[in-house]
Amino acid sequence: MGCCLGGGDDTRDDKLNKKDSNEITPLTKSSSGGATSPIQFESGKAKLKLPFNCQTPIIKKNNNEIILFYTERKVTKYSTLNINEAKITSTVEVKCDNDDFDIFNTVYALNENDNKVYFIENNTNILTLDLNENANEIVSLNKTITTSNDNYASIIYNDATKKLYVIGAEEKSDEDENYELVPYSTAITVDKGNGKMESKIKGFGLYARAVNVKRDGADYIYICGGLAVKQGTAQPEELLLTYQLNNYSDKQWVSRYTSQPIVREGIINYDNQYIITFGGTVMRNKKTEDPCNWVYVLPLTDNNKGHEVKANEWYGLSKRLSVKGKSEGKLYFNAVEIDGIVHFISYNGKYYTMKMNDILTEINIGSKAEQTEGLVLLQPWTQQGKTATPTKALTITNMGPKQEPEKK
């Protein structure tokens, strides 16, 4: 709500160890007050300024291209970005049989079985776009989903099971052979004392991120973050849910917490070793930090080189993200990692890349008290007063397309 850079015969380790002579290292402040080099985007700047804002998920088309959906002058479009050349190679204007269709109000994923993008519009309608022949029409499947307890659905394709999952769609939803429904109402239930079980998942899923994970010999989907309405105020979500595929026991769902309550973050799963988030908006120490320049790391195994780096404990990189300028959306990201390179599209329409090797270097240093390099072990959010009133109301608005000036 998920490409290979440069091609050639490089192995994964070769790609991770390449150096970029154009990198710059301006100073930034660590949380302890000392100066440290930031975690660096390649070349220290954006590789491409897109001619549009982009707040929607990245789709990997193949090993060389990613697809970006956006709206321009109330028209839905998608552009193909060649990541080897860092340029837009094609743009398709998309029609829809629903005149009110707005890509900002959808979640979507590519179903690799039929090469179609499946959209959930307004948390209800299911539509598709066929990428096989660069189709330009989003069509309705004439199917809808139903959600419960003010939850919002997520959608994700899992390569291990070769299935498309609609997370949060209840059993009353329309079924289809091309996707599988995964309801929240039967997950993590509590006995209300009257013989009825009630789901503890409520008001979850709006702008949440979903990633696939393989650990302990099993396949999972992690759904985390987003926007929650609590105490009458919208604020970042703290919940992280893990759903084990093909497990029908009472441990199929597990409830955890994010590093901090978080929304608008870029997120990747690196080699089933680490969940890593970049930027976004967070709640830290009872205050809203917007935007946030942290990189958070969740190790998925205990097989780590870093000092005191343990599985299922959240850490923050001592080094921070550094983006120049004051443009809204500069530290809100969608991200995807391919062959040791993390590709970022910021909400304000800039394309960045970062070497995973730079992140792994910090992780492999491990947890250090001085907080100028390596990792910082985070205090669990449950101990930070998670019911605190946020310092300001938070809303997620469509930043909208950049309008061309009128010609005189």
Mean pLDDT of 243-247: 94
Q: What is the pLDDT of residues 263-285, one digit of tens each?
A: 999 999 999 999 999 999 998 87
Structure tokens at 94: 């998309």
Q: Which residue has the tokens 């380790």?
A: 13
Beta-strand relationship, 95-96 and 137-144: parallel
- pLDDT tier at 397 (50, 70, 90 boundaries)? low
- pLDDT tier at 86 (50, 70, 90 boundaries)? very high
3-class DSSP state for residue 20?
A: coil
C-alpha dihedral sign at 168, 219, 104, 114: negative
pLDDT at residue 196 is higher than 80: no
- pLDDT at position 381 is 62
- pLDDT at position 37 is 73
- pLDDT tier at 395 (50, 70, 90 boundaries)? low
pLDDT at residue 406 is higher than 50: no
Q: What is the pLDDT of residues 98-128, one digit of tens each?
A: 788 999 999 999 999 999 999 999 999 999 9
pLDDT at residue 245 is higher than 90: yes
Structure tokens at 368: 């250090």
Q: Which of 280, 290, 338 is nearest to 58 (CA)?
A: 338
Percent of the chain with pLDDT strictly greater than 70:
83
- pLDDT at position 251 is 84
Mean pLDDT of 220-234: 87
- pLDDT at position 31 is 42
- pLDDT at position 233 is 76
Whole-angstrom distance, CA of residue 127 vs CA of residue 132: 16
Q: What is the pLDDT of residues 18-41, one digit of tens each?
A: 333 222 223 244 444 444 578 888
Q: Which of 151, 115, 113 is nearest to 131 (CA)?
A: 115
- Quote the DSSP letter at residue 389: P
Structure tokens at 319: 């080094």
From the number of C-beta atoms within 10 Å of its C-beta (0-12, 13-18, 19+), residue 73 rates as exposed
- pLDDT tier at 224 (50, 70, 90 boundaries)? very high
Structure tokens at 100: 């009110």
